Every structure is written in structure tokens, then in C-alpha cells.
Structure 1
Amino acid sequence: MAITLIRNAELVVGWDSSAKSHSYMPDTDVAFDGGTITFMGRGYEGAAETVLDGRGLMVMPGLVNIHSHPSSEPLNKGFLDEIGSPGLYNSSLYEYMPIFRADAEAVPHCVRVALSELLLSGVTTLADLSMAHPGWLDLLAEAGMRVCIAPMFRSARWFTKNGHVVEYEWDEKAGEKAMEEAIRLVERAEQHECGRLFGMVVPAQIDTCSAGLLKDSHAEAAKRGLSWQIHAAQSVVEFHEITRRHGTTPIGWLDSMGLLGERSIIGHGIFLDDHPSTRWHTETDLDRLADTGTTVAHCPTVFARRGIAMRDLGRYIRRGVNMGIGTDTYPHNMLDEMRLAAHIARTQAGNPRTLQTTDLFNAATIGGAKALGRDDIGRIAVGCKADFSLIDITHPMIRPAYDPIRSLIYSAGDRALKALYVDGNKVVEDGEVLTMDYRQAAEHLHEAQKRVAAGVQQRDWAHRSPEKIAPPTFHWS
């Protein structure tokens, strides 16, 4: 017996199974044995090896992040904040992101920085969409996080020679081989000794994958009981490319191949057929997503930087689309992402009632869990994983605490996170990650960015320096 008891928590965001929703539960005890919650309620009378005083604390379910790129995005800080290709509808995907890509030496530091930031913002489960890299599984295990490993593969690479036309270099055999390697890596992850890794099948982008690769990968995911995710409807360029190739929208093309469904996740899903930037002759994409039970992974920050937004999160939810939240870029702060998701939804709709905090919190917990095929995460309930955070609801930025979750998301953010547990193990305490050296990784990444910047001019099609592409806020004197 190694039962830990949180005695008399001031508040628990617990799961009400009869209402099938989260519920505020004051003066509540939570007990967990190893990695499983064994009791939630009042007046726990059983034995406990460790007792924690819950006064002044809110026990909140761990957040579930279904879309992130830890191995690359942290290095882009400072470079990509204000740039997007004007000739490519302000996306940064095709012209800029490839030339600022982290090198092999930088990747472990990127991962440690990203995972540290995620842990500090209450994330206990993460979908890591990365290209396979050495030591990946052990690095994820080191963090103490629950991770859905999602090695990406594709049939083609994209590039631009002039900043306004995107071209594709195809190698379908290489894509098939990469998928086989990705499946083997998922198998290894599921057998990892840490017991917290599981897998997903991820053809990288709808415009870089052949129809055969998409169908084969989806079938492989179904056979193995895994979720399947793809970047789609993420840029105007991609929308036009798919309509040019197939005469239908990205969502329409996926649907025509039978690739939408309850275990399918669309990364971003912004540019539907009724989006003002891609107005098509149909208005069926949103219905297709809802009627098939497909999930959309919503990551507003990376798009908001370039003046791009989903129209709008509340509309998708009201139509019945299962929504999850991700952090597609730096900073990897899930609470910040949630706050921005709410604000952008309301400004895009021109209506503060389009999205309720209930919907937002559900997307970041049970919506993400559903997308990953899990009913044991994203909620505080007996039998679920002991993945939760302890929030200091006496923190000045939480007070007054009429509605603690609203105060957390819209005001306090990660500053009020006291501790984080994954699988019953404490991984964050008082603003410090206990499993990784966040500060050291950030220092290494600082040096790595200088090294990557030195090669930008050679990789850029126009041979521009980093300072030319992303001028600093002020001149250096």
C-alpha cells in the first residue's frame, strides 16, 4: 500500500458521472494509490501512507494537449513572432520555418524546454508530433509526462524558390518506408518501461501525402486501435492546392476517402469551405466534421501571430465537433493557449456568448482525451489516472475566487500552479520542474539558436540574413 491522500481540498474539479461533466466539489478528499485515483469524496476513512493538507488548494484534472511539436518549435522564439510570407497568404510554413529548423544537436534541448513549459502550465498528457530523432522515447520518459508519441511521415517535401509559389518534391516509396518505421517506433513506445507512452499514426500534411499513404496509414491506425492525425485545412495555400488537385476541399477529400471518424484528428481545421479566406461553392465541411465524430486540434497562437483565425471555436462546438487544444508553437503554455482561444473565438464571432469557459475547459480535458481514445485521463474520478494539478486558490491573481477556473484561465495562469502529478508522481513543485533542468536546457537552446542562425542565409532561397528576414525590435548599437 502506498496510498496518498489529499485531505479536505478546498475545491476539487471532479467528474460527475451522472451528469457526465466536471463539477466543483468543495471540501473534498482525493486519494490515489500509485498511478490510480482510488477515492474522491468527503470523509475518507481509509489508511494513507502520505497525507497532504488540501486547504487553499484546488485539485484540477491534468490538461490534455493533442497537438504539439516539441522537437522544433522552441528554437523559433524571436525569429517567427512577426513574419509570414505575404505572397503565401501570410503563412510561415513554406518559406521561413524550414530555414530556421533546429539541428540534431539542438533537438534534445528543444524537447526539454517545451516539455518543461507544458508541465508548468498543467499539461499531464501530450501528443508529440515530431520527426523521429535519436533518444526520443527515453527523453519523453525522463520528463515524467504521459505522452502519445506521434512520429510524422510523408510522401513529399514542400519548398519555395521565390516566396510566392509552393512546389512539392515527391518520393512515395520513402513515405511508405517512413510509415513502417513510425509504426515500429510506436510499438517500441508502448513497450517502454516507464509505462506512460502510447502511440498515434500521423501522416504529416494533407498536401504532402499521397492518397495511398493516407488510406494505408488510416487502416493501420484502425487495425491497431490508435488515433490518426493529419495537418489539414491549415493554410490558404494548402486549400487551393487540394482543390486544384481534386476539385474538392481538404476536408471533403478526406471524407471522400473515408478518413474522417471518431479516432481521426484534424490538425487546425481552420480553412473550411465557408471560411471568408477560402470561400468555396459548398458549405458542407463543418457538417462533415461533426457528423463523422472527427476531432479538430485547435492551436490559435501560431495563427494569431499572422492575422489568421478559426471562424470560430464556439461555432464548431455548437455544431457538435469534438474539439481539443494544442500548443503548436512557443511558448508551450496550455493555459495561455486556452485564454487566447476564448478571446479569438469571441472576437471572430463578434459575440462574447459564442464560447463558454465550460466548453473551453472540456476541450482541454475530456475533448482531448476522447480524441486519444482515453477515458482514464482528463478527469478526476475513481479508476482514472492520478494526473492532476494543485492550484493555489489563495494566490492574489486567483482572488477574488467567485469562479476559480475562470480566474485561473483569464487571470492567474501558470503562476497559481502549486504542484503537478502524473501517474501519481510529483513532477512540478512551486514553479520548478522536478524531472528536467529547464534553465539549463534553455541556455543550451540559446546557444543552438546562434548556430542555426549562422546558416540561415545559405538555406534561404533569396540568401537573406536572419536580420533581414526578422529585423530586431530595436537596432543594436
Structure 2
Amino acid sequence: MPITVIRNADVLLAWDDATHQHVYMPNGDLAFEEGRILFVGRDYAGPADETISGTGMMVMPGLVNIHSHPSSEPMNKGFTDEVGTPGLYNSSLYEYLPIFRPDPGAVHSCVKVALSELLLSGVTTVADLSMAHPGWLDLLAESGMRVCIAPMFRSARWFTKNGHVVEYEWDAAAGEKAMAEAFTLVERAEQHESGRLFGMAVPSQIDTCTPELLKDSREEARRRGISWQIHAAQSVTEFHEITRRHGFTPIGWLHEQGLLDDRAIIGHGIFLDDHPSTPWHTRRDLEILSETGTTVAHCPTVFARRGITLKHLGRYKRSGVNMGIGTDTYPHNMLDEMRLAAYLARTQATDPRSLTTTELFEAATVGGARALGREDIGRLATGCRADFVLVDITHPMMRPARDPIRSLIYAAGDRALRSVYVDGRKVVQDGEVLTMDYRAAAEHLHESQQRIADQVPKRDWAHRSADQISPPSFLWK
């Protein structure tokens, strides 16, 4: 196989095994072959079939996104930007998300839009938490990304008939059947010819799964050596539901059942026993997460829209909790998500020292990789997968580039990204996705949204129109 060398990059964001940290390496070379990194350092002297100039570039590891919903969230743009149910503590989960879901004709466009946005923001690995849909695996492989498929399953669906009480319709047998199908799909993903797909077990939500489904899925995930993720501590309503059912907080109950360890991921993990919105008689949740090695997938944007936030990313990190970053909602822009995560952490702590950019970038790379059980992604090191991003540090918004990662996250964002490589294959060039037609998918999504809007009154408990639920910012004349 040909060997490619990026030579004399202005900056390599390399991995230092001695300190277990990313480090800036000026004037560095990176060589890769057959999707794997051969060399990270200076003055590469080995063979090279292709040479790429690194002048004016920063080479950084591809970002690792551990919580995303590509098959549904892009459809919500313009619908759920400003909605939240007052009677359910401003969560949008129970009243609104079920009625704005895409129909089968729109799902593929949703996926293509989300994955394109992720690639354009430097994500090379994503966990796709979706309900299984036709052609899912081939579509993910087409994107050129490294994808952890995470087919969700559950024992019940939630709904509300009045906007202030959440009810559950249970079918335990259907949940067990869906779990078996999910594990079969994970097997198919791991055997996919692309070689870039792997799997995760995801019982959807702590309040929609029977204890048996949670235990069975956890045991099977452990047997297979794959990660396990669940939405938990994501709403005040859910917190109270779990304390009512079990007498424990969501985190406390998962721990009591023996479900937490270093391959467990909590989607969101906001409402702990010491959160101001959910004070409880214990103060153990954060300690439990740290002691068990459990990861929290932090997705600030979707909650910030409702006036909700984790308290706070820096506190979790300093308590020893492994943190990862996800884009739960649109836009699927990882750099934007990281910037918001930093600002919310500092405002919640009223302290600019509460979270460093070092800790933030680690969460978006090696923290996420650790949660997925992958030591070969999220870092530039010999033997790792050749998943990396070229950033134009001569871009005006990167200047001055005294600290290029700060300039990227807090100023330039995706505008400075030049190229993205996954497994040594270029998938983004000069702001264009090379593997999918992003513009066509976005246009199809735009056309599909009106069809979804027309269905809203049939799905809504109060039979309201989309415009009644989510009025436009300005009147259309």
C-alpha cells in the first residue's frame, strides 16, 4: 500500500505517551499507510509514495463524538429551537419530540445532513444512537466516517395527554425482541466490508426500560466487550420518576443494579443528587460516576435551548469523571458544541479557571475514545488509525495563532478546517464533503419538513398545528 507523508506541518497536535497528553509539535511530519499512522515526529526519513505539504497547517486528531441522533434531529431545525413544556420542567422530550419525528422518506436525508455537518466540523468518529432503519449500515459506510452504531431499544414508550403528566405504555416482550435485533445489527456492523463500523448496546432511557432489560443488555454488552449507553439523569421529570419507582436517584439506582463501569456511558447525566433542581438526601452521585469509571456524554446545546445545563463540566472533570462530548441536536457542529460547553462550565462556576481548553479537547478526543473502548483513535500516535484534520492556521480567524486550538475553538470554528481524513482517506476538502451530497440532502430535508408539519396535528395530544406549537419568529406576509 502507498505511504503518504504530511511533511513539515507548522504544528502537529501529537500524543505524548510519557505525559498522556496532546502536545504541540512545531515543524512535524506525519506518515500513514493503509489507514494506520506509521510516524509522528520530525524529519521522517522513510519511504513516501505521496507527499503533502504541511506548510500553514495544523494537523490534529479527528474528534470523537459519543452521542448523536443523525436519523432524526436535523428535521427539528425550526421546530424545537424555542419549545419546552412548562409543566414538565421545560423538557421537550415528552410532548414535542414524538410529534416532529421524520417519516421514512426523510430519514436518509437526515442522516446525510448530520454526518456531513459532523465531518465538516472535524468529527471522524461518531456514535449514532438511532432506531434501526433500512439501509442504515451501508449509508453510514458511504459517509466515510468511523461509526459506532447504537441501535436503541426499550420496553415502553412515553407520552403525555395533558402537558404535565408523563405516562408509559409498556411491552416488555417487544423490548427484549428489539434488544436481540439490536445485537444482531451490531454483529452485522462489525462484519461490514468498510471495516469502519463497530457497535454499542443502548437501552434507550432509564425510565422506558424494565430492570430485566437493563441487566440483560448490560450482561450481553460485557460478554461482547462493547460499550453500553443509556439516557439517564436527563430531565427533572425522569429524576422524580426513578426516585418514585425505586427510592434511588437515576445514577444511584444504576449503580445499585451493578450496571456502571468503565464501559458504561450516561447520556447527559445532568440531574444528580446535588443539582439545584433535584436536591436529594444523598450527595453520592458524582462520586459514584468517578469511582466506577463511568463516562458522561455531555451535549450542552440541546439543553441550553431549554434553559438547562450540567453543573458543570469542570466540576465533573475535577471529580475524576471521564467526560465525552456529543452533538445531541442540530447543528451537528462539534466545534460549536465544544465552545458552548466551555462557556457554560465557566458561567455555572462563575470562574474562568473551572475548565481548561486542555480538558475540553481531551473530552472531545481521548475521553470519547476511552468510552468507546478505542485506544487507536482520538490521538496522533504511531499505530493509531489515520483519522486526522488539517486546519489552516493562516486563516484570518486563526490569527494570531499563539495557541491554535484556542483560536480554532473560540474563534475560527469549522471555517478554518481544510481537510479531514478517516482511515487515511480524504473525506473533506476545502469545506466540501467528498463522500455525500450534503446540499442535495439538505434540500430534500427542507422539502420533507412541510410534509412533517402537516402531520403534527394528528400526533399532538391537543391537535395543535406546527405554527401554534412553534410560532415563526416573524409573521409571513
Q: Which residue of 1 aligns with 2:81?
A: 81
Matches for 1:87-98 after TM superposition, within 5 Å:
87-98=87-98
The DSSP-based 3-state class of the residue aligned with 2:140 is helix
**Which residue number corresponds to residue 387 of structure 2?**
387
- Partner Cα distance (1:351, 1:437) in 2: 43
The letter of the residue matching 1:15 is W
Q: 2:461 maps to which residue?
A: 461
- Give the counterpart letter for 2:85 in structure 1: S
Specify the SS of the correspondent of 2:201. Answer: strand
Match of 1:33 in 2: 33
The equivalences for 1:49-88 within 5 A come to: 49-88=49-88
Partner residue, 2:154: 154
1:219 aligns with 2:219: yes
Letter matched to residue 24 of structure 1: Y
How many angstroms does 1:34 deviate by? 1.6
Q: Distance in 1 between matches of 2:80 and 2:348?
A: 23
Match of residue 413 from structure 1: 413
* Equivalent position of 1:374 in the other structure: 374
CA distance in structure 1 between the aligned counterparts of 2:281 and 2:449, rounded to whole angstroms: 45
Q: Following TM superposition, by how much is the alpha carbon of 1:46 offset from its aligned partner in structure 2, in angstroms?
A: 1.3
Distance 1:153 1:188 in 2: 17
Counterpart of 2:275 in structure 1 is: 275
CA separation in 1, counterparts of 2:36 and 2:467? Answer: 51
Per the alignment, in what secondary structure is the counterpart of residue 230 of structure 1? strand
Q: Which residue of 1 aligns with 2:117?
A: 117
Secondary structure at the aligned position of 2:341 is classed as helix
Q: Take 1:190 and 1:53, find their aligned partners in 2: how far apart are those partners? A: 35
Write the distance in 2 (CA, Å) between the matches of 1:303 and 1:465. Answer: 24
Corresponding residue of 2:232: 232
Q: SS at 2:162's partner residue?
A: coil
Show CA shifts across 1:216-237 (max 9, x none).
Answer: 0000000000000000000000
Q: Deviations over 1:272-306 (max 9, x none)?
A: 00000001111000000000000000000000000
Alignment match, 1:2: 2
| Mapped pair 1:138 → 2:135 | no
For residues 241 and 253 of structure 1, the distance between their equivalents in structure 2, rounded to whole angstroms, comes to 12
What do the CA deviations read for 1:50-107 (whole angstroms, capped 9, x no partner)? 1000000000000000000000000000000001000000000000000000000100
- 1:24 is paired with a residue whose SS is strand
Residue 166 of structure 1: CA displacement?
Answer: 0.2
- Match status 1:206 vs 2:206: yes
Alignment of 1:186-201 (within 5 A): 186-201=186-201
Question: For 1:169-218, what per-residue CA distance to the aligned partner results, in whole angstroms no more than 9, with x for missing partners?
Answer: 00000000000000000000000000000000000000000000000000
- Report the residue type matching 1:380 in the other structure: L
Query: For residue 180 of structure 2, what is the aligned residue in structure 1?
Result: 180
**Aligned residue number for residue 259 of structure 1:** 259
After TM superposition, the runs of 4+ consecutive aligned structure 1 residues lying more than 2 A away are none
The TM-score, its normalising length taken from structure 2, stands at 1.00
User: Structure 2: how far apart are the matches of 1:46 and 1:322?
Assistant: 37
Q: Where does residue 341 of structure 2 map in the other structure?
A: 341
Equivalences for residues 274-293 of structure 1 within 5 A: 274-293=274-293
1:104 alignment counterpart: 104
The alpha carbon displacement at 1:473 in A equals 0.3
Task: Determine the C-alpha separation between the residues in 2 that align with 1:343 and 1:264.
Answer: 27
Does 1:322 pair with 2:322?
Answer: yes
Letter in 2 for 1:250: P
Deviations 1:369-388 (A, max 9, x none): 00000000000000000000
Structure 2 counterpart of 1:297, which letter? A
Does 2:241 match 1:241? yes
In 2: Cα distance, 1:436 partner to 1:461 partner: 38
Partner amino acid for 1:40?
A: V
Amino acid at match of 1:191: Q
Which amino acid letter does the alignment assign opposite residue 393 of structure 1? I
Secondary structure, aligned partner of 2:397: coil
The answer for the alignment partner of 1:471 in structure 2 is 471
Provide the C-alpha distance between the structure 2 equivalents of 1:229 and 1:458, rounded to a whole number of angstroms.
32
Q: Tell me, what secondary structure is at the counterpart of 1:158?
A: strand
**Matched position secondary structure for 1:323:** strand
Task: State the SS of the aligned residue for 1:208.
Answer: coil
Identity of matched residues, %: 75
Structure 2: how far apart are the matches of 1:138 and 1:74? 20
The answer for unaligned runs of 5 or more in structure 2 is none
Following superposition, the deviation at residue 474 of structure 1 comes to: 0.3
Q: Distance in 2 between matches of 1:46 and 1:204?
A: 48
CA distance in 2 between counterparts of 1:100 and 1:74 reads 11
Gaps of 5+ in 1: none
- 3-state SS, counterpart of residue 455 of structure 1: helix
User: Structure 2: how far apart are the matches of 1:20 and 1:238?
Assistant: 37
2:355 is matched with: 355
- Secondary structure of the corresponding residue to residue 115 of structure 1: helix
1:45 offset after TM fit, Å?
A: 1.2
Counterpart CA distance in 1 for 2:467 and 2:230 is: 33
Q: For 1:208 and 1:417, locate their aligned partners in 2 and report how far apart those are by CA, in whole Å.
A: 40
Residues of 2 paired with 1:105 and 1:4: CA distance?
41
The one-letter code matched in structure 1 to 2:428 is V
Shift of 1:250: 0.2
Cα RMSD (Å): 0.4
SS in 1 for 2:15: strand
Q: How far off its partner does 1:47 sit?
A: 1.4
Aligned-pair CA distance for 1:324: 0.1
SS across alignment from 1:199: strand
Helix, strand or coil: the match of 1:106? helix
Corresponding residue number in structure 1 for 2:167:
167
Secondary structure of the equivalent of 1:336?
helix
The within-5 A match list for 1:385-464 is 385-464=385-464
Q: 1 CA distance for matches of 2:20 and 2:86?
A: 46
Cα distance in 2 between the residues matched to 1:20 and 1:92: 40
Q: CA deviation at 1:458?
A: 1.1
| Secondary structure class of the residue paired with 2:105 | coil
Partner Cα distance (1:26, 1:167) in 2: 58
